[in-house]
Amino acid sequence: MATKTTLQTICNKYCNINHNEDNYSIGGGLTDGRFASNRHEDAKYDEGKLTLGEATQLFKKATGLSTDEVKEVIEFAVPNMEWHHAGKLPKAYGGGMKKTYFLNAKEICKVASNWTTYVAELEADKIAKKEEQEAKKDLQAKRNEFLQANAKKVERVATKPAHFYCLYSECNGKYGWFDASKNIYNMAEYHTGWVFESQELYNEFLNIN
């Protein structure tokens, strides 16, 4: 009779398995006869490692959550996974080689041992990010209302006026306008933004929160 997969059974197995901690010493290049890197093949056959897909299915069995929910928790808990090249990307996705992500035994053990904590932290992180986005939207709405009432918009002026709030700067190149942050040729820059009649109004705008 098969043993039911639980968080505890995952801990029992992976908290006591060793894994190759440095397969970069293997060297780069592709495995003979396969479109996969040597390091990918080493990780694939390491008993102390699982691909992200395999780990997702394992934790899905243990928790009863959906594939997307489990993957989200794992990626939150282990944001910098080991990865190696294997397989080809379709030309529609830019071509080149795919990346396969791996979790090692220590990471699997950590996720299984602290699953409830990671789920709670992820939910709190989502709430915090949502509140931050809402606060940004509210601030932008206040600023836009103030700008419409107290400033004049100007576009692509060569010289920044006094009391000027710059939205963005551009250059006029051979193939049209482009972001001035990419101005590697020291070309003339033109600015779009809002002009206030006084420093006091400009300061009032900057202090909106």
Residue type (1 letter), 178:
F
The reported pLDDT for the residue numbered 84 is 72
Compute how many other C-beta atoms are within 10 angstroms of the C-beta atom of residue 68.
10
Compute how many other C-beta atoms are within 10 angstroms of the C-beta atom of residue 15.
14
The reported pLDDT for the residue numbered 1 is 45
The reported pLDDT for the residue numbered 31 is 56
Burial class (CB in 10 A: 0-12, 13-18, 19+), 178: middle
The reported pLDDT for the residue numbered 96 is 63
Report the chain (209 residues): mean pLDDT per 10 consecutive residues. 81 86 55 58 75 96 97 97 69 64 94 98 98 97 97 98 97 95 92 98 97
The reported pLDDT for the residue numbered 147 is 98
Burial class (CB in 10 A: 0-12, 13-18, 19+), 190: middle
Q: Where do we find the tokens 């060793």?
A: 18
Cα end-to-end distance, the chain, whole Å: 63
